Chains A and B, each alone.
Chain A
């Protein structure tokens, strides 16, 4: 049994409230958009490997808000050092969820490192993350949701590598950034 990525993302961001959500480039950004666009969502269309650190900067700047980084295994692998940086820094209001299909889905479905044995939960634990979790069923994903809103949690969710229909969220970064800042009540510079 293999989880549908759209159903997983919909569950992760269900009743998101004022949680700030950063999605890594590619399918996770499409998944987040498909789950319902909101001003508190920030979609990456590039800057591969940067999602977690954008989440850290945001979490440090907004300590009273929850920040969720949702990204894919390829994006997380490219920014793997960020797991050490975030653990060393500490950010109690930041959680990361990796939707892991073991593939580079955007480029032809080549097997990624997680599809060849790399265990991102073990990497995060080795980097100093105290809370890590895995989910393989929708019940486990549902159990992750409140934890991702409350803990400094690193979670890996095994999803199906099956391709789903593309959903393209807004890709004007200038607009997305200012929309998010406005939602946070930040005045223009």
Chain B
């Protein structure tokens, strides 16, 4: 994880976690991504949050529905490639008219070295919008926490589904090149 623990990166990632914490998110389902590493690590060690590693992103949508039925707020952390795995499960958010918050790290949009990430990364906003999820973007480190905070207010305040897309420019394509090169 050394490459994602640089000061600037850690700072905006901490802002994202803090925004979820301030929104009283108590369940965080995730499929790991380097861009979510700090949020996952802090969620795993926070006594008030249940961090749940998922086998597929669709599980996180269903878990969020169950959490809300039981009176807790949840969030789903995933990579853009996972958005496609959630499509039918997102029928829950409109049928239940439930709050849903997801934070998506983008691949395939800027400086991507793996062409297999490009199709789903390109389709991510349209797929989410087609399923009734409002899409918000964070492009710069200084705004990441603010965008997540605003998205949480919107989702939990009015029982709608909101996705925050953390741009690949924000996350830094270089990180992924280093990590994938090590595989």
Contacts and interface: CB of A to CB of B under 8 A. Distances in A.
A34 interface: no
Q: What band does the interface of chain A fall in when counting residues whose beta carbon is under 8 Å from B?
A: 35 or more
B58 interface: yes
B66 A53 contact: yes
A67 B97 CA distance: 22
Nearest to B158: A189
A107 to B, nearest CB: 15
Q: What band does the interface of chain B fall in when counting residues whose beta carbon is under 8 Å from A?
A: 35 or more
Interface string A75-92: 000010110110011000
- For the residues of A in contact with B, the DSSP-based class is helix
Interface stretch (A55-63, A117-125, A162-170): A55-63
B64 interface: yes
Interface of A: 20, 22, 42, 45-62, 79, 81-82, 84-85, 88-89, 173-174, 176-177, 180-181, 184, 186, 189
8 tightest A-B CB contacts, nearest first = A57-B66, A61-B70, A81-B55, A50-B62, A53-B62, A173-B95, A61-B72, A57-B67
10 contacts: A22-B66, A47-B65, A49-B62, A50-B61, A54-B62, A54-B63, A60-B52, A60-B70, A82-B55, A177-B97
